């Protein structure tokens, strides 16, 4: 009689529900803001009042869903991860909510010095909420360092991604200090004067920005490395998915150590991109006007990534010719044979 217990089904990792719900809310707000940019003709410095809402809601849509997936796959400190994710979801909704409120009122959310109650709510949300979001992300990155999530490639993606996103958040804290812009008076969407205490641009005031991103075209802008760092985890996740698909066809990529080595190389190159764009912005140089030094640094970052990927692939063990493997169905049938069922082909006596 076979007494082998039935295999216990493996629990499927569940996405963090509050973060998933907030991601859905941000997706809806992104769609709303996109339509509003064409329907509502109000502008701030020549850009739609809803542009900032569109950018922030899209950014948190992508990041919160990524964090929801990550927390669902944690193997340690899961309770801490759940509560941290819940606080992050609530704060992110509030942060983007006050930005949407300022847009609906036709005024500025960032650097606004107005004494109106609505603006005080916005500024307090930035002053006290943003540091908490950063600390949650920072502590989460430390916690993930001490555990393995998925295979080696996925673990590498998560570790590099959280490191890059933390650095991206840090870059945002230096925007005011490095811009060194003096207070200036501008007009809101209704033509009323509004005093701004600072700005984003380094070496040139805001108001000369690229289409959609509004990054400065006449000076440095730390929003560039902020964006690059914050969304590094999505870029590396996409790279890991591509490697998984290619592994079906290319034998060398089936080893998770090879894929992890490639991810580490891409992460190092991406870190170089972040560092280069930060250095470029601090020098008051626009993203679209790189000098020779910036181009050399970008080339070096790309070279590090390419060489690292090449080395990782070359180290992969080449498939060696082997005898035909034993069929899986034969192995399963052989495992069912007990000692009592076995009889030697040649009688022992």
Digitized pLDDT (tens) for each residue of the chain, 349 residues in all: 444 444 344 455 689 999 999 999 999 999 999 999 999 999 998 889 999 999 999 999 999 999 998 888 888 888 999 999 999 999 999 999 999 999 999 999 988 888 899 999 999 999 899 999 999 988 888 888 777 777 888 889 989 998 999 999 999 888 877 777 778 888 999 999 999 887 787 877 676 778 888 888 888 989 999 999 999 999 999 999 999 899 888 888 888 889 999 999 999 999 999 999 999 999 989 999 999 999 999 999 999 999 999 999 888 765 434 444 555 554 455 555 554 554 544 444 4
The tokens of 163 are what? 């490191």
pLDDT of amino acid 330: 46
Please write the tens of the pLDDT for every residue from 130-176.
999 999 988 888 888 777 777 888 889 989 998 999 999 999 888 87
pLDDT of amino acid 334: 52
pLDDT of amino acid 338: 52
pLDDT of amino acid 150: 75
pLDDT of amino acid 72: 83
Q: How far apart, in whole angstroms, are the C-alpha atoms of residue 64 and residue 59?
A: 9
pLDDT of amino acid 50: 96
Torsion angle of C-alpha atoms 160, 163, 167, 169, degrees rounded to 10: 110
What are the residue boundaries of the structural domains of the chain, listed by start? 13-149
Q: How far apart, in whole angstroms, are the C-alpha atoms of residue 349 and residue 340?
A: 17
Q: Identify whether the C-beta of residue 244 lies closer than 8 Å to the C-beta of residue 151.
A: no
CATH architecture classification, 13-149:
Up-down Bundle (1.20)
Q: How far apart, in whole angstroms, are the C-alpha atoms of residue 201 and residue 179?
A: 6
pTM of the entire structure? 0.79
């Amino acid at each position: 009689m076979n007494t082998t217990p039935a295999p216990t089904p493996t629990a499927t990792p569940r996405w963090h529900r509050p973060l998933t719900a907030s991601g859905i809310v941000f997706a809806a707000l992104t769609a709303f803001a996109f339509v509003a940019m064409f329907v509502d003709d109000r502008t701030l410095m020549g850009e739609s009042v809803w542009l900032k809402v569109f950018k922030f809601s899209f950014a948190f849509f992508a990041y919160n869903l990524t964090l929801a997936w990550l927390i669902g796959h944690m193997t340690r400190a899961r309770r801490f991860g759940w509560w941290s994710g819940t606080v992050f979801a609530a704060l992110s909704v509030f942060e983007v909510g006050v930005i949407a409120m300022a847009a609906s009122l036709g005024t500025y959310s960032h650097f606004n010095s107005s004494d109106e109650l609505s603006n005080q709510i916005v500024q307090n949300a930035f002053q006290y909420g943003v540091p908490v979001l950063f600390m949650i992300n920072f502590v989460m990155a430390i916690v993930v360092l001490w555990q393995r999530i998925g295979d080696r490639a996925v673990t590498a993606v998560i570790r590099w991604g959280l490191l890059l996103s933390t650095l991206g958040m840090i870059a945002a804290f230096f925007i005011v200090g490095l811009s060194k812009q003096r207070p200036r008076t501008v007009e809101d969407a209704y033509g009323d004067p509004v005093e701004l205490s600072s700005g984003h641009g380094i070496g040139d005031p805001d108001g000369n920005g690229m289409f959609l991103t509004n990054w400065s075209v006449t000076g440095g802008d730390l929003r560039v490395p902020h964006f690059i760092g914050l969304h590094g985890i999505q870029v590396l996740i996409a790279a890991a998915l591509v490697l998984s698909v290619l592994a079906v066809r290319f034998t060398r990529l089936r080893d998770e150590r090879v894929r992890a080595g490639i991810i580490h190389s891409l992460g190092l190159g991406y870190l170089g991109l972040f560092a280069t764009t930060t250095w470029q912005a601090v020098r008051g140089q626009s993203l679209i006007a790189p000098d020779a030094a910036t181009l050399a640094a970008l080339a070096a970052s790309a070279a590090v990534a390419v060489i690292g990927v090449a080395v990782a692939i070359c180290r992969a063990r080449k498939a060696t010719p082997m005898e035909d493997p034993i069929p899986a169905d034969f192995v399963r049938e052989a495992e069912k044979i007990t000692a009592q069922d076995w009889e030697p082909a040649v009688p022992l006596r």
